[in-house]
Structures are given as structure tokens and as C-alpha cells.
């Protein structure tokens, strides 16, 4: 069932402009596949989908190409320059506030970098939480994020 769902997701995002997980769930439902938001969120992460800017200024899900794999650092830089509004830490937790619908992209970029200091990430619509190994890692990440944000 999972492989079928993944296949359908890739077909859907290739032939439609899908901006939200809710839209993706609706499209899956239309082809007879029921999936919860949590399942869709996991599928997006497993399929390594990313949000890309369309020519009309909207963001849509897209499959990561082999060409984009080595460019993860620049992807993170672009997300921080264009979409992160604020960054702060509390202990070993980093909280990113983003423009609407960009928190999953921020988490995906951070996850893709496979940083040893990041234990895991969690994304809402406009808020991303990163659990770091320790407070020093959180502070260092915040400093780097603030530097990236200021380079706009």
C-alpha cells in the first residue's frame, strides 16, 4: 500500500500544482487512497519532496532531482534568506518562524544535510522545531541562521 501511495503522490505532484498537504490528501482521496496528515507528512519526507517556487509566485511540491542533491547547503541558504522570519533557541531546541507553508521545506533542508548536531526536526505550517544534541549546538545553529537571514 505504501509503495502504491508513494507512486500516486509522485504522479499527482508531477501533473498538478499541489501547495499543501491537505490538497495532496484530497487528490489521493480522489484516486481511492485514504491517508492521514501524519502519513502524508512522513511520505513527503521519505520521498524527499521539496517546495519549489512557480513562475506565478506560488510554492508547490516537487520531487528532488539527482542534480539537486549536492546543492543542499545552497537550498538551506535560500530557505533562510527567503522564508525564515525569526530564529530563537530554548535550551537544546531551536524554533524557526517561517513564511506560511515553508516550515516543512526548512526542516527538509536541515534533515537532508544530516548534521550530527541535529537529533530531529518537526514542522508545522509556519513553525519549525529542531531538537539539537545540546545547548551549544542550538546556539551555534541560531548564530548561523541569523547570519544567513541578514544576508538577504
- Write down the pTM of the prediction: 0.53
For 9-29, the pLDDT digits (tens) are 999 998 999 999 999 999 999
- Residues of the chain within CATH 1.10.10.10 domain(s) are 2-64
Domain with CATH 3.30.1360.40 in the chain: 68-150
Distances, alpha carbon 129 to alpha carbons 10, 34, 58, in Å:
27, 28, 24
Comparing 44 with 64, the larger pLDDT belongs to 44
Rounded to the nearest 10 degrees, how much is the dihedral formed by the CA atoms of 65, 69, 71, 74? 90
Cβ atoms of residues 72 and 82 within 8 Å: no
CATH class, domain 68-150, is alpha beta
Pick the CATH number of 2-64 from 3.40.50.1970, 3.40.50.10540, 1.10.10.10, 3.90.800.10: 1.10.10.10
As a whole-number percent, the residues of the chain with pLDDT over 70 amount to 90
| Across 61-69, average pLDDT | 64
Helices 2-15 and 21-30: crossing angle, nearest 10°? Answer: 110
- For the stretch 90-110, pLDDT in tens is 999 999 999 998 888 888 878
Mean pLDDT, the chain, rounded, equals: 86
Amino acid at each position: 500500500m505504501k509503495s502504491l501511495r508513494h507512486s500516486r503522490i509522485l504522479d499527482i505532484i508531477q501533473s498538478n500544482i499541489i501547495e499543501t498537504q491537505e490538497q495532496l490528501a484530497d487528490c489521493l482521496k480522489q484516486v481511492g487512497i485514504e491517508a492521514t496528515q501524519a502519513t502524508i507528512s512522513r511520505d513527503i519526507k521519505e520521498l524527499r519532496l521539496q517546495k519549489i517556487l512557480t513562475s506565478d509566485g506560488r510554492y508547490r511540491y516537487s520531487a528532488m532531482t539527482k542534480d539537486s542533491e549536492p546543492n543542499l547547503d545552497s537550498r538551506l541558504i535560500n530557505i533562510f534568506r527567503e522564508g525564515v522570519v525569526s530564529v530563537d533557541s530554548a535550551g537544546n531546541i531551536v524554533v524557526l518562524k517561517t513564511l506560511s507553508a515553508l516550515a516543512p521545506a526548512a526542516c527538509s533542508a536541515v534533515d537532508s544535510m544530516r548534521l550530527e548536531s541535529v537529533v530531529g526536526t518537526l514542522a508545522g505550517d509556519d513553525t519549525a522545531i529542531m531538537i539539537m544534541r545540546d545547548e551549544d549546538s542550538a546556539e551555534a545553529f541560531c548564530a548561523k541562521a541569523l547570519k544567513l537571514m541578514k544576508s538577504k
